[in-house]
Amino acid sequence: MHVTSTLLAAAAAFSSANAASKGFNYGAFFGNQQAKQYVDFKYEFEAAKELPGTNGQFTSARLYTMIQHGTANTVISAIKAAIDTRTELLLGIWASAGSAVVDNEITALKNAIAQYGPAFTDLVVGISVGSEDLYRITPTAIGNGETNPGAQPAELVNYIRRVRDAIAGTGLAGKPIGHVDTWTAYDNSSNAEVIANLDFIGVDAYPFWEVEHDNSIGHANATFYDALQKTRNAAQGKPVWVTETGWPVSGPNQGNAQANAENAGIYWHDVTCSLLSQGVNLWYYTLQDVQYGQPVPSFGLKPGGDLKAVSPLFDLSCPAGFKPVSYLFPLTLSPALSPILLLLLYSPLLFYLIISSLLPNPRSCPSCNCNRNYRSSETILFPSQQDGNYFRWIARTNRICEDGKCQFKT
C-alpha cells in the first residue's frame, strides 16, 4: 500500500513537470522598432514548438503588453496568433509609463475578451501587471541608464487592483494575477505590500549580471538558485514563476562572465534543464532577438535569419539521464521504505552506488581545456525541491570529452 502511494507520488511529480508552462518572452516590436504583426507572432510561436531537441514542449508565450505597438489601445496581434497556434499565454500589462497607459492596457484586455471569448481566455495561464517596475526606480537601474520611470509600490498595488476589477465577471475571472520583477526587488522588504496583493511572483534572474560575485559560468547555477531561493523566501507563500532567465550568446563580458554561445549552452543545460525537470513555470529569454537589429548583448538562442530555417546556437536537448536528486525523497521518506533511509545514512558507499546508477554513465576523458573557464570536472549546485537545500550535481557525467574537446551528451 505504501509502495503504491510512493509510486503514485512519483508519477504525480513527473506529471507536474510535464504540465508546467514552458515558453519564451516575446516583445511587441523588432529591433528597429517595427511592430510585429499577426504573421510574425504566428511564425515565432510555431518556430518555438519546432525547436530541435525540445520535444515540442515550448508552447507558452509571455507578453509584455496587451497593446499593438504604435497604437493607443488596439489589441496586440499576438492574441490571434496564439489562438490559431494553440499557444498558452502569460499576459502582460505595461506599468512603467503611467496611469493613463495602464488604462489603455486594461481597455485592450477587455476588448480581447469581448472579441475572442473563450478561445482567448482558455489559453491564459496568468496576467502579469508590470515588468521590472520596482527595479527601475532603484539607484542601480538609474545608474545603469534606465529611462523608463518604473512605478512605486503603492502605484503597482493600485494597478493590480484595477486589473482585478476589470476582469471580474469575465472569462478571465479567477486567473492568477502577478507581477514580474528582479529578485532584488522582492528581497527588498519595502515592496512587501506588492507581494501581498499578488497570486504569483514572476522573477527575472540573470547570473550574468551579478558582478558583485564571481559570475563566471561555473558559478551560474549556484547564483541562479540562490536568487530563486531568496525570492521564494520573500514570496509570502505565493508560487514563484521564472519569467526571465538566460545567458547572452554575444556581447561584452561582465565581470568574470563571458558572453558566448558555448557558455549559453552550458547555462541552458545546468539551469534551464534543471528547471524543466522540476516542473517550474519558465519563460526563457529569448528565442531570437537579432531580427532587424543587433542588441548588445544578444540573448537569442537562434541567430538572425529565417527563424525556422536557422539552427539554434547550442544544443537544446536535456540529458536523457538528467534526474534531480530531489526525486529520491518520495522514496526514502515513505514509511514503508524508511529502513532504506536509515541504511543510506549509515552506508555512504551504498548511497553513492544508488546515486551513480541514476546518473548518465560517466566516461573517462583527458583533461578538458575548452577555453571557457569551466572545467569538465567541476561540480555545480542542484537544488532540492523539498527544503531549498543544495546538493552537488556532478556535471562531468553529462559531458563527453574526446581529444581535449568537450560536448554535452545527447
User: What SS3 state is found at 182?
Assistant: strand
Amino acid present at 102? V
Q: Which residue has the cell 495561464?
A: 125
The CA distances from residue 207 to 110, 215, 231, in Å, are 37, 6, 14
46 as an active site residue: the answer is no
Amino acid present at 217? I
Closest CA to 59 of 90, 21, 97, 27: 21
Q: What Rg value do the Cα atoms of the chain yield, rounded?
A: 22
Q: Is the dihedral of CA 139, 145, 147, 150 positive or negative?
A: negative
Closest CA to 249 of 211, 296, 291: 296
Q: b vs e for 41-77, b when ≥16 Cβ sit within 10 Å of the residue's Cβ?
A: bbbbbebbbebeebeeebbbbbbbbbbbbeeebebbb
The whole-angstrom separation of Cα 397 and Cα 364 is 9
155 as an active site residue: the answer is no
The CA distances from residue 71 to 18, 21, 29, 65, 74, in Å, are 37, 30, 12, 12, 6
Catalytic residue among 44, 132, 210, 262: 132
| Catalytic positions | 132, 244
